[in-house]
Amino acid sequence: MNNAGSVFFPLDQQLELWDKHWSAGLAKEAVWLSGAVNSFEQAEEIFARIGHVAMSASTIWQRAQKWGEGFRALEQQQQSEANRLAQRGEVGPAKSKSAVPMGVGLDGANLYIRQEGWKELKVGCVFEVELRPIFEPETGEWLEQGHAVNNSYVAYLGGPEEFGQRLWAAAQQRGWEQHYDTQAIGDGAPWIWNLVKLHFYDSLQTVDYYHATEHLRTAASLLYPTKPEAAERWFNRMETQLFQGHAAHIAATLAQAAGGQTQRHKDLRTEADYFRKHQRRMQYLEFREDGYPIGSGMVESEAKQFKARFCGPGMRWSREGAERLVPVRAAIMSHQFDTLWPSVYNSPPN
């Protein structure tokens, strides 16, 4: 206790918290908590319970807004550098190629923006592929399968063109062009494959296996709307064919059954078109044998984590508020927050 009667806890000195001045250390933790937990109120509770620091949710929000703008500016700077075209005659240093495959995953999550309604937050993941042994219960054997590791994330609240540039910048920072083999994985959304064609055109394209099986289950229900057992038997039989790379056969089967003009027949044609359009991206057995992951869980799970932070009960965001916190959340999930913080904190004010 000092002369004024104020109580100081051990963490006060560590965070350089004197006379209600929010130090660099405390500002950092406030920004980190704002992006790590699911609400500013929860961050306030953690400060009070663990750090014995009385920092209100509104104060934490203010710190997140201030320094979140720094994270956003740094992200834009990195994007500009990565997308800068080489000047005429400019030759970069020769770099050795890596035999480790690298991939990108793309997905989306909706959040509510005041005065705009629900908007899609586009989420991208850059990862390396590592072979890991897994036990196959059906055969009783251990098999090596490709898994996404060393994941880093980028997210953008806006159109696909800008998001594509940001994802490309993130891939460039990870040394994308120094890898012999690359992969792009996502669901069947057209915007995803348009971006892949633009930025990752020479990568192995893969429709997420889970999403493909969801469409297959929808097709089964359409084929047998009143016979759930028959639908399940058809699904199990066709799932084997899907995994073996016979999406074209599934498309033909569905198209043959969609000869009428009812809504059910129209929906069957939609599912048939889905498998026909993406058949080359559904060679799952071949992809797995070549050591690539066939599921986009690495990006889907992170899209859910963004959703957990931005789509809690009653959450309504201003566009600017969301855009400042999104790069903070991405830095935390990419395990890059501590690395980026010095550049953000020491950057000149806008």
> How is residue 39 written in tokens?
């609400």
**pLDDT band for position 123 (50/70/90)?**
very high
What region, left, alpha or beta, does residue 178 occupy, with left being phi > 0 and alpha being psi -120 to 50 degrees? alpha
Which helix (H) or strand (E) covers residue 149, if one does? strand 141-157
Residue 234 has a pLDDT of 97
**pLDDT band for position 348 (50/70/90)?**
low
Give the residue from 200, 201, 190, 210 showing the smallest Cα distance to 127.
200
Distances (CA, A) of 9 to 48, 49, 59, 147, 224: 12, 12, 20, 45, 67
pLDDT at 58 over 60: yes
Residue 1 has a pLDDT of 32
Residue 13 has a pLDDT of 46
Residue 321 has a pLDDT of 94
- Please identify which residue in the block is written with the tokens 């996502």: 186
Q: What is the DSSP string of 87-109?
A: PTT--PPP---B-S-EEEEEEEE
- Please identify which residue in the block is written with the tokens 């799932």: 239
Residue 93 has a pLDDT of 54
Can you tell me the distance from the alpha carbon of 23 to that of 28, in angstroms, rounded to the nearest whole number?
A: 9
Residue 21 has a pLDDT of 57
Per-residue model confidence as pLDDT tens digits over 149-201? 999 999 999 999 999 999 999 999 999 999 999 999 999 899 999 999 999 99
**pLDDT band for position 307 (50/70/90)?**
confident
- The arithmetic mean of pLDDT across residues 220-244, rounded, is 96
Residue 260 has a pLDDT of 87
**Are 108 and 122 a contacting pair, CB within 8 Å?**
yes
**Are 86 and 338 a contacting pair, CB within 8 Å?**
no
- Please identify which residue in the block is written with the tokens 């004024």: 4
**Are 71 and 340 a contacting pair, CB within 8 Å?**
yes
pLDDT at 4 over 50: no
- The arithmetic mean of pLDDT across residues 101-124, rounded, is 94
Letter for the amino acid at 320? E
Sheet holding 141-157, edge to edge: 141-157, 117-136, 102-113, 182-186, 204-207
- Please identify which residue in the block is written with the tokens 């990752």: 200
pLDDT at 301 over 70: yes
pLDDT at 67 over 50: yes
- Please identify which residue in the block is written with the tokens 């908007």: 119
**pLDDT band for position 289 (50/70/90)?**
very high
**pLDDT band for position 302 (50/70/90)?**
confident
Q: Please give the angle made by the CA atoms of 110, 150 and 198, to the nearest 5 degrees.
A: 60
Per-residue model confidence as pLDDT tens digits over 317-326? 999 999 999 9
Map out the domains of the chain as residue ranges.
211-281
> What percent of the chain lies above the pLDDT cut of 90?
65
pTM (predicted TM-score): 0.84
Residue 65 has a pLDDT of 92
Residue 22 has a pLDDT of 65
Can you tell me the distance from the alpha carbon of 255 to that of 265, in angstroms, rounded to the nearest whole number?
A: 9
**Are 55 and 330 a contacting pair, CB within 8 Å?**
no
**Number of neighbouring beta carbons within 10 Å of residue 136:** 11
